[in-house]
Amino acid sequence: MASVSQTLRPPLVAGDKRPAEVTRDICAALDRRPGAGWWAMFLPAFALLLLGVTAVTYEIATGIGTWGLNRTVGWAFDITNFVFWIGIGHAGTLISAILFLLRQRWRTSVNRSAEAMTIFAVLCAGMFPVIHLGRPWFAYWMLPYPNARGSLWINFRSPLVWDFFAILTYFTISLVFWYVGLIPDLATIRDRTKPGLRRRVLEILSLGWDGSYRTWQRYETVYKLLAGLATPLVISVHTIVSWDFATAVIPGWHTTIFPPYFVAGAIFSGMAMVLTLMTVARKAMGLEDYITVAHIDKMAKVTLATSLMVGLSYLTEFFTAFYSGNQYEEFVFLNRALGPFAWGYWIMLACNVGIPQLFWFRKVRWNPFLVFIVSVFVNIGMWFERFVIIVTSLHRDFLPSSWAGYAPTSIELATLAGSFGLFFTCFLLFCRFVPVIAISEVKGVLSVGRSRQPAGRRPLRSGGATEEASVLG
Amino acid sequence: MAQDGQIRYWKCLEERNGDAAWLAASRDEFPEPPLVRRPARREFLQAAGFVFGGALFAGCSRAPVEKLIPLPEQPEELVPGRATWYASTCDACPAGCGLLVKTRDGRPIKLEGNPEHPVSRGGLCAVGQASLLGLYDSLRFEQPLLEGRAATWEEVDRAIGEKLDAIQRNGGAVRFLTGTVHSPTVLASIQAFLGRFPDARHVVWDPLSSAAIPDAHQRTHGVRRLPRFFFDKAAVIVSLDADFLGAWISPVEHTAAYQAGRRMEQPGAEPSFHVQFESRLSLTGTKADRRVVVRPQELGAVAARLAALIAERAGAKFDAGEAPPPVSGELLSELADRLWAHRGRSLVVSGSQEIEVQKLCNLINQLLGNYGRTLDIVRPSWQRQGSDAELQTLLEEMEEGRVAALFIAGLNPVYELPASARVRERLEKAPLVVSFAERPDETTKLAHFVCPDHHFLESWGDREPVAGVLSLIQPVIRPLASTRALVESLAVWMGEPRSAYEIVRQHWRTRFYSGPDDEAAFREFWERSLSRGFVELETRRLEPPGRFDAGQVRAPKAAPQAPAGEFTLVLYPKVALREGRHAYNPWLQELPDPITKVAWDNYASLSPATAERLGLAEGDVVRIQTSDGGGAAVEVPVFVQPGQHDGVVAVALGYGSVLTERFAGIGPQWIEARPDTGGDGRVGVNAAPLLTFAGGTVRYDRAGVRLEPTGRRYELASTQMHHTITVPERLAPPGGERRPMIQETSLARHMDDLRAGRLWEEQERTDLWPPDHPFTGHRWAMVVDLSACTGCSACVVACQVENNIPVVGKDEVRRKREMHWIRIDRYYAEDGGQLRVAHQPMLCQQCEHAPCETVCPVLATVHSEEGLNQQIYNRCVGTRYCANNCPYKVRRFNWFEYSHDDRLANLTLNPDVTVRSRGVMEKCTFCVQRIHEAKIEAKRRGEAPADGAIQPACQQSCPAGAIVFGDLNDPESRVARLWRSPRRYQVLEEINVRPSVTYLKLVRRDIEKEERSPAHG
C-alpha cells in the first residue's frame, strides 16, 4: 500500500477535502458580509481610484501639458503604465490557456483569479492609449469605420493600429474565456441562492446550466477551443506591443529582439503579480488548502525561468549594440547604464535579474512571505524596465541639441496610482462576488479516492467530483 | 342646350338640375365647414400673447453681430485674401533696414527685408521681424498723459504751450534728448523747434553707445563721424571686440556684406579672413577663422602692437609702448603680414569704448590705406551719432537744475543709464519733462507729459541710415490709438500744426527734390521713391575730413593685472533684446540666445575654469559686487560659457525693465505652473546700473568686480541642454565621441574640389521596393549653408510670425516645450585650444522616407506629391508617436491651449495659416501657404513658378543668404545646383530617411595649414 501511494504525485489540494467542503470553502467569501479586512483594503483602493479619476479628468480638461513630457520625450509614464499593465495581463491567459493545453493540473487553483487579474490589468492598460492622446475625444478615429469624411481611413502601417486590434482581441478573448470557465461555478452559486433577484441574474448568467453529461461535454469542447484560440494571443499581444518600439528608428527601440524579450518580460511580470495577489488572497480568504505552498513553488519556478530569459535579453541588447558598431546604439546603452536615468536601469536590473535568483532556493520558494516580497520587487522592476526602455531611449537620441530630461508631475503620479486603484478595486470586488477559485475544476483534482483511510472520510457518494458540482449545494 | 351657339358645361347633376340647396351652398365661399374653428376672442388673445411672449423671450439672447469684410466701397488696391505689400523702413533700431510690409485686409501681418535696399539687401533681423508685435501691443499708450493721468491732446498742447511760452520768456534751457535720429525731417523739425528758444540743444545718446568711434575720428580726422564699414570689400577683417554680426551697429547690413565677402561657390573665390579678439564668446567670434580671447583692458595693447607692426612695414614709426600684448608675437606679426599684403582690402574695427583703442584702429586703417575703400568717412554712416560727453554735460546741467524743459524721445534714461548717473533724482529737478515714449516705462512715470508717438507702421517718416541713402517710412494702417507723430507734436507746439505727411513731403520737396518745380513732376519723384522705399541721392554736402593726425595716437598704458578674486565685468547686448527697448516683446524674450540657448533671462557668464575654481555651477545665483563702493550690485544666476576669458564675467543688458511686468501670466496656467517672471515681477535683472562713465564715454566693461555666491539657485530656461559639446565623454562609445551632424571641410580641400569640378556623388542605393514618391512635378527642397549661417536667429522669429507660432513662456521653455518650428542648434568643439562653434538651423527635413508618416495611426501626416511632409491638424489625435520617431526632433506638440486672448495681438495672425488647437502636432511646412500662393499666381499667368519666386519666411529673413529653397526637379534652379555641391551632406544620412533639406559643410580655415599652402598668401 505504502509503495503505491508513494508513486502517486503529492496531492494538489491539501486537507483531504470532500467536494462539498470545496464548494462551502470557496463560496464562504461570497456568503458572508465583508469583514473589516476587506474594507481595509477596498477603501484605500477605491480612494486611489478616485484620485486617478480626478487626475485624468484634470488632464483631459487642461491638456497633456499637465504631464512632464516635452518635445523630446513624448511618451513616459503613460506608455510605461500601458505596457506594464498589458504585461501583467499576460499571466492569466498563460495559466488558463497554455497550462490547460499542457495539462498542468495545478493551474486549477489559480486560473480563475489569474484570468480575472488579466481582465482588470488589460482594462487598466487600455485606459492609457486613450488618455494619452492629445485629443482623447477623437480616439475612435483609430477605428477603421466607414465614415462621411471623404476617403479618410486609418494607417495600417502604424503599429498603433496593430496595437489597437491586438489589445481589443486579447481583451475580448480573455473576457469570454473567463466567463465560459465561470459558467459551472455560477450555476453552483445559483443553486445555493434563495429565489430572488440575485438568483434570477445568476440563472441568466449561468446560461441554463444543468450539470448534465451533455452540458459538460459541450462546455469542455468550448473551453478547449477557446484555450487553443487564446494561446497565440499570449504571444501576439506583447509582440505587437513591442512593435510600437521595434519599428521605430530611435536607437534603443529599433531592435529585432523586442518581441521575444517583451513576451518573456510579460510572463515574468504577470507571474509575479499572480504571486503577489495569491500569497495575500490565500491567507486573507483562508484558502491555504487550495492555493498551497506547492502552487506557489511552481509559479516561483516559472518566475525564475522568465527572469533568466529577461536577463538574457538585457545582455543580448548590450551585446547587439556593441557588436553593431552603430555609435547611436552603443551610446543609448551606455547612457542607460551610466546616464542620468542610470538609477532606473539599476533598479530594473536588481529587481528583475538579481532578486529573483533567490528562487533557486527551495526555502525561499516554500515561504509565501518571502515569495510575496520577491514578487513585489519583480513588479517594481518590470515597471522600471518599461520606463527605462521608453524614457532613456527617447531622452537622448540622435541630435544632442534636442536632448532633454524628464520628471513626472503630480498628475502623472496620481494617474499611475489611480490605475492601481482601479485594478485593486476591481479585484477586491471580484473576490466578493465571484468564486476566486474555479470550484468545478478544483473538484477534479481532489484527493478523493487517493486513500482508503480513514473510511469515514470517504465521500458520501461515488462518482466524479465534477458531476457533483451542481448537485451538492 | 346649345342656344346661342354656346356649349354649357356642368360639373354635377345638381347644377344641371338647378338644385336650390346646391345653388345656395355654391354661393358660399367656403362650402364646407372651415378646418380651423374660428377662434374666440379670448383664444386669439391667448395665442397672440404666446407668440409675442415667445418672440420677446427668444429675443433676449442677442445674437452676436459678425461682420464679414464690411467694405461696400472697396478700396481699389484691396482684394480680400490677397496680400498688399508696401515698402517702408524699419525703425526697431537705428540701423534703418529696408522693409516690405505685408498687409492683409488692411492690417500689417509680416515684415520682410526689401531686397533692393542698399543697406540691408533683403534681410531683416529678429528684432525687426518682431517689431510688428509692437504695433498690436495692447499696453501701448492710447492717449497722452498729463501728470500721469489720461488727457486729451488739446489739454496737453495747451499746458505744454503755456510752459514753453514761459520758458521762452525767461530764457530757460530746453534740451531735447534722443537716441540716434537720422531722419532728415525729424532732425529739421527738432532744429526748428529748438531754434525758438535762446538756450536749446539737441543731445543725442545711444544706449548701446559707439561714441568712441566718432570721438576718435574727431581727433584723428577732424570730423566726428562713424565710418561706414564695407565688410564685403575686405579680404582680411580684424575685429577687436566688435560683435558686428550680432548686436553691433547694423547687424543685417554687416552680415550681408560679411557673407558676400566670404562666398566660396566659385573656384577662384577668395573668402575673407577674419580674426576676432574678444573677451566673451560673441556671435561674430563664432564665425571667425581665428579667435583670440583677451581681456577688454588688453585690447589697447593688441591694437598698439599691431599698429607698430604695420607701421614697421609701412616704413612709419610708431612706439607700441611697454604694454605686453596678451597674445603671441608670432600670431600678431603673421596677422600684420596678412593685413599688409591686403592693403586697401583689409579692415580693422573695434567695439571698444576706449577712444585710445579706436584711435589706434584709425591709425592702422590709415596706414593700410583702407579709408575710402573698406571704410568710409566721406560718406559715413549715421546709424550711431550719440555722444556720451554731451550726455554727461546734460546730466551736469540737470544736476545744477539749469534745465527748464527736457524732451525725451526714443530713450528710457531712467532704465538705461548707470546708477551713478542718478537720472531719477535729476529728472525730478527739471520743471518740465516730456516723453514721447510709445508705452509706459521707467521714464514716463517721472515725465510730466507723455505725448505718445506712433508705431512706425502707423506713421510717415524718412530715414538716412548711411549718407546718400534716403529711406521712406509710410503708414500701412491707421493709428490704432490716439497717438501723434513726434513731428506733428512739435509742429503744434510751434503753432503751425501740419500733418506728418505734409511735413515729410514738404521737406523732401524743398530739400531733396531737384527736378522741375512743378507738383506733377515732384509727385512722380515722390511716388517712385515711395514705391521703392528709398532713393539714393546726395542729401547734404559734408565737409571733407581733415588730414590724418598721427600725433593724436598714443600707445595705451599697460593694463594692471587684476587682483585675485576680482573680475572684469562685461555688459553686452543680446541679439534679441539689445538695450531693452523691445523687452515688451514676447517673441524676442522667447528667442533663445544663439550661443547660450537660454531664453527669458540674463545671467552671469563665467568660463568653465573660473566656475570650477569658484565652485559655482550653472544656476547658482551670485551677487556681482562693484568694488568702488558705488553700491551698485546685481544678483544673477551663473551660466558657464566656454570660450570666455577666465577673468571676465559677462552680463547681458536689456533685462529687468518694467516693460516685462506684463509677462507674469504669459504661459499656460495649471496646477504645477511656475511663475514666468522673477520675484520682482520682471524678466531678468537690469545690469545697466553697473555701467560706468570713463574717459569721456560710457563703458561696458568695468574692472574690479567681485562675485559672492548667495546660496540660492535659479533654473534658467534653456532650449538646448548645456554642455552638449557632443556626447559626454564618460558615455561616449569608442570612436563615437563626435557625431557627424556637423561636417567640416577645409578651405583648401573645398577649393580643390571646385577647381576639379567635383560634384557630390549620389551613392548607389539599392532598394527592395519601388520608390513611394516619384515626384513627377515639383520637388521642393532646401539647402542650408553652414558656413554662411551666423546663428543670428532672424529666421526663428520670421517663422514664428509667419506661421502663428505661440509664445509659451519661461516655465514651458524650462520644460523643453518651446514651439519654434526652426531652431538653431549650436555645437562646440575644441581643437588645439581653439573653441569652434557651429550653428545649424534645424527644421523639418521633409524626409522622403519619413519615419513620422508610417507611425501615425490616423494618417494625419502624409507625403505630398511635391515632396512635402504634410501635417493635417484637424486629423491629428495627438499620439505624439511621430515626434518620438523623428530623428531630428523637429515636431512640436500643443501641450495646452495656448493663449490667444489678446485680441489686438491676434491681428498679427497670418490668415493663411491655421492656428493650432490643443492636442495636435505641428511642425515646419516649408511655408506651404507661400508655395501655393506662388503656384496659383503662376498658374494664373500660365507659366511655371520662377526659381526664387517662393521663399519661405526663414530664407527671406536670412541676412546671410544661408538658406536656399526651390524646386529640385528644375535642374537649373539654385537649389538644384547647390544640391550637387561637393560640400553637400545630409544630417543623419545613415538612417536613410532621405531628407529634402541638405546642408553644405562648414568650411574651416586653419591658420597654420594655410601658411604652408602656397595657394594663399
Q: What is the pLDDT of residue B735?
A: 55
B879, B894, B924: best to mutate for the A interface, most A CBs within 10 A? B879
Among A326-335, B324-333, B952-961, the range with the most confident prediction by mean pLDDT is B952-961
CA distance linking residue B116 with residue B651, whole number of Å: 37
Is B892 part of a structural domain of the chain? yes
Among the listed residues B3, B107, B33, the one whose alpha carbon sits nearest the alpha carbon of residue B908: B107
User: Between B353 and A109, whose confidence is greater?
Assistant: B353
Q: Whose grid coordinates read 507729459? A: B449
Is A461 part of a structural domain of the chain? no
Q: What is the pLDDT of residue B1?
A: 46
In this structure, the answer to whether residues B710 and B753 fall within a common structural domain is: no
In this structure, the answer to whether residues B977 and B923 fall within a common structural domain is: yes
Q: What is the pLDDT of residue B544?
A: 85
Residues spanned by the domain of A163: 10-143+155-450
Continuous H helices in B66-194: 126-130, 132-135, 153-170, 184-194
Q: Does B848 touch chain A (CB under 8 A)?
A: no
Q: What is the pLDDT of residue B687?
A: 92
In this structure, the answer to whether residues B821 and B907 fall within a common structural domain is: yes
Q: Which residue of A has its CA nearest to B738?
A: A327
> Which residue, B381, B413, B431, sits at the end of a domain?
B381
User: Between B192 and A148, whose confidence is greater?
Assistant: B192
Partner residues linked to B830 by β-bridges: B835
Is B321 part of a structural domain of the chain? yes
CB atoms under 10 Å from CB of B857, counted, come to 22
Percent of chain B at pLDDT above 90?
Answer: 59
Q: Is B619 exposed, middle or buried (0-12, 13-18, 19+ CB in 10 A)?
A: middle
Continuous H helices in B593-701: 608-614
Among the listed residues A215, A287, A291, the one whose alpha carbon sits nearest the alpha carbon of residue A467: A215
In this structure, the answer to whether residues B339 and B359 fall within a common structural domain is: yes
Q: What is the pLDDT of residue A460?
A: 46
> Taking 50 as the threshold, does the pLDDT of residue B1012 lie above it?
no
**How many CB pairs lie under 8 A apart between chains A and B?**
192
Per the CB < 8 A criterion, the answer to whether A295 and A106 are in contact is yes
Q: Which of A441-450, B187-196, B497-506, B615-624 is predicted with the least confidence, judged by mean pLDDT?
A: A441-450
In this structure, the answer to whether residues B366 and B509 fall within a common structural domain is: no
Nearest by CB to residue A248, choosing from B727, B817, B855, is: B855
In this structure, the answer to whether residues B899 and B955 fall within a common structural domain is: yes
Phi, psi of A228 (to 5 degrees): -65, -40
CA distance linking residue A181 with residue A226, whole number of Å: 10
Hey, are the CB atoms on B859 and A134 less than 8 Å from each other? no
A157, A401, A406: best to mutate for the B interface, most B CBs within 10 A? A401
Q: What is the mean pLDDT of residues B844-853?
A: 92
- Indicate the pLDDT class of residue B286, thresholds 50, 70 and 90: very high
Q: Does B731 touch chain A (CB under 8 A)?
A: yes
Partner residues linked to B199 by β-bridges: B173
Is B411 part of a structural domain of the chain? no
In this structure, the answer to whether residues B749 and B818 fall within a common structural domain is: yes
Partner residues linked to B984 by β-bridges: B1000
**Assembly ipTM:** 0.89
CA dihedral defined by B985, B989, B994, B997, rounded to 10 degrees?
-40
Residue B294 grid cell: 583677451
Nearest by CB to residue A134, choosing from B884, B888, B893, is: B893
CATH number reported for the structural domain that contains residue B967 in this entry:
3.30.70.20
- Indicate the pLDDT class of residue B655, thresholds 50, 70 and 90: very high
Mention every residue, 6+ apart, whose C-beta is less than 8 A from residue B679. none
Hey, are the CB atoms on A71 and B816 less than 8 Å from each other? yes
Per the CB < 8 A criterion, the answer to whether B450 and B65 are in contact is no
Hey, are the CB atoms on A164 and B857 less than 8 Å from each other? yes
Q: Give me the amino acid identity at B622.
A: V
Q: What is the pLDDT of residue B189?
A: 94
Helix (H, G, I), strand (E, B) or coil at B441: coil
Is A1 part of a structural domain of the chain? no
A64, A167, A332, A402: best to mutate for the B interface, most B CBs within 10 A? A402
Task: Indicate the helix (H) or strand (E) that contains A380.
Answer: helix A368-387
CA distance linking residue B522 with residue B505, whole number of Å: 10
Mean pLDDT value across chain B: 88
CA distance linking residue B810 with residue B800, whole number of Å: 17
Number of domains observed in the structure of chain A: 1
CA distance linking residue A22 with residue A20, whole number of Å: 5
Q: What is the pLDDT of residue A437?
A: 85
Q: Could you give the C-alpha distances from B373 to A444, B184, B237, B549, B809, in angstroms and in order?
A: 105, 26, 13, 19, 47
Q: What is the mean pLDDT of residues B265-269?
A: 79
Residue B729 grid cell: 565623454
In this structure, the answer to whether residues B669 and B634 fall within a common structural domain is: yes
Hey, are the CB atoms on A397 and B889 less than 8 Å from each other? yes
Q: What is the pLDDT of residue B1014?
A: 41
CATH number reported for the structural domain that contains residue B315 in this entry:
3.40.228.10
Q: Whose grid coordinates read 374660428? A: B38
Q: Which of A112-121, B336-345, B551-560 is predicted with the least confidence, judged by mean pLDDT?
A: B551-560
User: Between B64 and B161, whose confidence is greater?
Assistant: B161
Is B193 part of a structural domain of the chain? no
Q: What is the pLDDT of residue B679?
A: 82
Residue B37 grid cell: 374653428
Three-state secondary structure readout of B962-984: CEEEEECCCCCCHHHHHHCCCCE
Strands (E), B577-619: 598-599, 604-606
- Cβ-based contacts of A159 with chain B (< 8 Å): 855
Residue B917 grid cell: 488647437
Q: Is B77 exposed, middle or buried (0-12, 13-18, 19+ CB in 10 A)?
A: exposed
Q: What is the pLDDT of residue B71?
A: 58
Nearest by CB to residue A66, choosing from B670, B823, B884, is: B670
CATH number reported for the structural domain that contains residue B688 in this entry:
2.40.40.20
Q: Does B772 touch chain A (CB under 8 A)?
A: no
- Cβ-based contacts of B728 with chain A (< 8 Å): 339
> Taking 50 as the threshold, does the pLDDT of residue B646 lie above it?
yes
Hey, are the CB atoms on B918 and A139 less than 8 Å from each other? no
In this structure, the answer to whether residues B710 and B735 fall within a common structural domain is: no
Residues spanned by the domain of B941: 729-757+777-1008
In this structure, the answer to whether residues B889 and B795 fall within a common structural domain is: yes
Partner residues linked to B963 by β-bridges: B784
* Least Cα separation, residue A162 to chain B (angstroms): 9
CA distance linking residue A322 with residue A331, whole number of Å: 9
Hey, are the CB atoms on B883 and A71 less than 8 Å from each other? yes
Is B221 part of a structural domain of the chain? yes
Is B198 part of a structural domain of the chain? no
Q: What is the mean pLDDT of residues B206-217?
A: 93
CATH number reported for the structural domain that contains residue B135 in this entry:
2.20.25.90
CATH number reported for the structural domain that contains residue A323 in this entry:
1.20.1630.10
Partner residues linked to B88 by β-bridges: B99
Q: Which of A137-141, B121-125, B268-272 is predicted with the least confidence, judged by mean pLDDT?
A: B268-272
> Which residue, B687, B718, B749, sits at the end of a domain?
B718
Among the listed residues A219, A281, A263, A220, the one whose alpha carbon sits nearest the alpha carbon of residue A93: A263
pLDDT in tens, B386-439: 999 999 999 999 999 899 999 999 999 999 998 888 888 899 888 999 999 999
Q: Could you give the C-alpha distances from B508 to B100, B187, B313, B504, B711, in angstroms and in order?
A: 21, 13, 49, 6, 61
Residue A339 grid cell: 546616464
Residue A289 grid cell: 488548502
Q: Torsion-angle region of residue B206: left (phi > 0), alpha (psi -120 to 50) or beta?
A: beta
DSSP output for A186-229:
HHHHHHHSPSSHHHHHHHHHTTT----HHHHHHHHHHHHHHHHH
CA distance linking residue B945 with residue A76, whole number of Å: 45
pLDDT in tens, B495-550: 899 999 999 999 999 888 888 888 889 999 999 999 899 998 876 778 888 888 88
Q: What is the pLDDT of residue B595?
A: 92
Q: What is the pLDDT of residue B789?
A: 94
In this structure, the answer to whether residues B303 and B336 fall within a common structural domain is: yes
pLDDT one digit per residue (tens) for chain A, 473 residues: 444 555 667 777 777 778 888 888 888 778 788 888 889 999 999 999 999 999 999 999 999 999 999 999 999 999 999 999 999 988 778 877 888 888 877 888 888 888 889 899 999 999 999 999 999 999 988 888 887 777 678 889 999 999 889 989 989 988 998 899 899 999 988 888 888 888 899 899 989 888 899 999 999 999 989 888 888 888 888 899 999 999 999 999 998 899 999 999 998 998 899 899 889 888 888 788 888 888 889 889 999 999 999 999 999 998 998 888 888 888 888 889 888 899 999 999 999 999 999 999 999 999 999 999 999 999 999 999 999 999 999 998 888 888 888 999 999 999 999 999 999 999 999 988 888 888 888 887 777 666 555 544 444 444 444 433 333 33
- Indicate the pLDDT class of residue B755, thresholds 50, 70 and 90: confident
Per the CB < 8 A criterion, the answer to whether A65 and B670 are in contact is yes
Number of domains observed in the structure of chain B: 4
* Measured CA angle at B833 (ends B828, B834), to 5 deg: 50
Q: What is the pLDDT of residue B66?
A: 57
DSSP state of A387: H
Q: Could you give the C-alpha distances from B358 to B226, B335, B348, B351, B603, in angstroms and in order?
A: 11, 18, 10, 8, 29
Hey, are the CB atoms on B672 and A135 less than 8 Å from each other? no
- Indicate the pLDDT class of residue B278, thresholds 50, 70 and 90: very high
b (16+ CB within 10 A) / e for A217-256: eebeeebeebbeebbebbbbbbbbbbbbbbbbbbbbbbbe
> Which residue, B689, B718, B747, sits at the end of a domain?
B718
Helix (H, G, I), strand (E, B) or coil at B77: coil
Q: What is the pLDDT of residue B435?
A: 94
The answer for A 26-65 residues in CB contact with B (under 8 A) is 58, 62-65
Is A455 part of a structural domain of the chain? no
Is A100 part of a structural domain of the chain? yes
Q: Is B188 exposed, middle or buried (0-12, 13-18, 19+ CB in 10 A)?
A: middle
Distance from the Cα of residue B639 to its chain's centroid: 24
CA dihedral defined by B212, B218, B220, B226, rounded to 10 degrees?
60
Q: Could you give the C-alpha distances from B366 to A89, B249, B340, B343, in angstroms and in order?
A: 83, 21, 12, 10
Helices (H) and strands (E) in chain B, counts: 30, 41
Q: Whose grid coordinates read 505725448? A: B451
Could you give the angle at which helices B212-221 and B355-367 cross, rounded to 10 degrees?
A: 50
CA distance linking residue A33 with residue A188, whole number of Å: 19
Is A170 part of a structural domain of the chain? yes
In this structure, the answer to whether residues B829 and B951 fall within a common structural domain is: yes
User: Between B766 and B48, whose confidence is greater?
Assistant: B48
- Cβ-based contacts of A335 with chain B (< 8 Å): 731
CA distance linking residue A49 with residue A23, whole number of Å: 32
Q: What is the pLDDT of residue B629?
A: 58
CA distance linking residue B321 with residue B324, whole number of Å: 8
CA distance linking residue B548 with residue B219, whole number of Å: 9
